[in-house]
Amino acid sequence: MTATSLAHKLSVQFPYVHASYEKRRNFLRFLIRYIGFTVLVRLGSVQGLENVPRSGPAILMINHIAFADPFVVLHACSRNIVPLAKVESFDYPLVGIFPRIWGVIPVRREEFDRRAIQGALEVLAAGEMILVAPEAHRNPFLQQGKEGVAYLAARSGAPVVPVALDNTPGFPSLPFLPRWRGPRVQVQFGRPFRYRSDLGRPDRLQLRQMTDEAMYALAAMLPEPRRGCYADLTQATQETIEWLD
């Protein structure tokens, strides 16, 4: 059995039962908090935690600039989250065991991964949160987002919370190395929104618009140099989204 096939076998099993993962995730959060963010990542400010729903399903949508990004959000958020991650991450030496234990949903990025979609919808239906990087690849500047976030949000009705990350490149790093003298990691949880319910089952063109509107909302939270292809905020529309209080 290959590592990637093992990843699928050991990731979230369906139908999804949150309680079966809770103890192991709480233990891993303990390790992240007291090891990861003591000797591996230097966290600065965390803003907007009040925008994360206290209960019920939600989709956290991040800009993905460095390896440490998902761990930063897992640590900063008050609730457990089920990330979607590329299936190759299960092959990483040592850290590849983390997504297996946590119950991360593996994604084959170059195809429409029905199993990953099913897994994400199962988790949302159970009232839990998922973490998605819509660009699919790490990049210091925003790239065009893929339509998966819009599809999952439209199918599930779950709110989307944009999460802006900055200063994560270079981490993990040890305290005696130069990176620790640089800028600290910044996290901002933005105002949540839903897609309009009257959109029904959106077609491909509608999904594209929905995705771009979400990406512009994320871009507006980032420093201008990081906005990439969403730099021109005058092009942003909000025709498909409804902001939540």
- Res 1: pLDDT: 41
- Res 14: pLDDT: 64
> What is d(CA 140, CA 11) in angstroms, rounded to the nearest whole number?
28
Average the pLDDT over 204-231 and give the result: 97
Tokens of 158: 């779950």
* Contact status, residue 165 vs residue 223, Cβ threshold 8 Å: no
Tokens of 63: 């800009």
* Contact status, residue 125 vs residue 152, Cβ threshold 8 Å: no
pLDDT tens readout for residues 108-139: 877 778 899 999 999 999 999 999 999 989 99
- Res 113: pLDDT: 82
pLDDT tens readout for residues 64-74: 999 999 999 99
More confident residue, 63 or 18: 63
Question: Is pLDDT at 8 greater than 70 in this prediction?
Answer: no
Strands 241-243, 81-86: pairing kind: unpaired
Give the torsion through C-alpha atoms of 7, 75, 169, 50, to 10 deg: 120
**Buried/exposed 203-227: b ≥16 CB within 10 Å, e otherwise:** eeebbbbbbbbbbbbbbebbeeebb
- Res 10: pLDDT: 44
CATH code for the structural domain at 3-243: 3.40.1130
Peptide bond into 192 cis (omega under 30): no
Domain extent listing, the chain: 3-243
Tokens of 42: 């230097």
Average the pLDDT over 201-207 and give the result: 95
Comparing CA positions, the residue from 218, 67, 89, 98 lying closest to residue 149 is 218
Strands 185-189, 160-166: pairing kind: antiparallel
The pTM of the full predicted model, rounded to 2 decimals, is: 0.92
- Res 11: pLDDT: 59
- Res 245: pLDDT: 79
DSSP letter string, 43-99:
EEEEE-GGGS-SSS-EEEEE---STTHHHHHHHHSSS-EEEEEEGGGGGSTTTTHHH
CA angle at residue 203 from 70 to 189, to 5 degrees? 25
